[in-house]
Amino acid sequence: MGPKQALPVSEKVAMDIEGKRAVIVGGGSGLAKASAELLAKCGARVAILDLPGSAGAAVAADIGAAAAFIPCDILDHEGTESAVHDAARLLGGIDIAANVAGGGGGSPRRTIDATGPYPLERFRHTIEANIVASFNLSRLEALHMAKATPNADGERGVIINTSSIAAFGGPVGMVGYAAAKAGVAGLSQTMARDLAPYGIRVMAIAPSMFDTGILKDLDDGQKAALLTETLFPKRMGLPSDFALLVKAIIENPMLNGGTIRLDAGTRRAVKDDLGDQLF
């Protein structure tokens, strides 16, 4: 396929979600689940990829005929390739991809502490679950997007990866997670340049504290303590907040090659809560 030729710009060049084919990775819960539900409500057909033991099948069933569940472990790279190809075959192609699965890297730990150096395998696992998995998913999704018929703007698809505000200044003890999420932001920017000739946009979203996963189980006092550096609103992010940004990125063709902070103005100060781990 040669370089994309300039096309006349119509009055409306935004990607219309109605009738589009979307792959949502991690769609069995949290941010990805909300995204799958919103896109289906907007008329997209959705393939939910998540672990075999996840609630992905139940989410797809709740959405109805517009959704299907495909088991996928993002750490199984060959299995992921099969899952993405199955999704494309089921949907008849891919126009939208939201890659929301990843890993947090476990409890905070310094690069060195009283027990020794940070475990290399733990660092490697966090990189695999975020950078490697995001790249693997994106390259496979892009291959199918490149075969789509372009719209009036020459656009064939959009890929949305998930970074974190930790990418721009992670807390003490989260070096692996911060490095991994910074990597997701970096790969998304450069991949947008790679895929521009095919009319494929690539963006990343960097959320702050969201009311999902382990944070959802905290009490109000614990949540308030986490929000001391948040400007407004003074609350945890909601899955619906994330889904609305996914929708906005899809619909706005000028959003490309960047990472959007979804953080209510949060700017982390350098705080050290691991002093007792020093040797």
Catalytic residue IDs: 177
> Strand runs (DSSP E) across 122-271, as ranges?
157-162, 200-207, 259-262
Q: Which residues contact 265 (CB under 8 A, 6 or more apart)?
A: 230, 231, 232
Q: What is the DSSP string of 57-116?
A: HHHHHHH-TTEEEEE--TT-HHHHHHHHHHHHHHHTS-SEEEE------SS---SEETTE
DSSP 171: P
What is the C-alpha to C-alpha distance for residues 136 and 158, in angstroms, rounded to an integer?
Answer: 15
Q: Which residue has the tokens 């990125």?
A: 249
Structure tokens, 277: 């781990």
The answer to whether residues 279 and 114 touch, using CB atoms and an 8 Å cutoff, is: yes
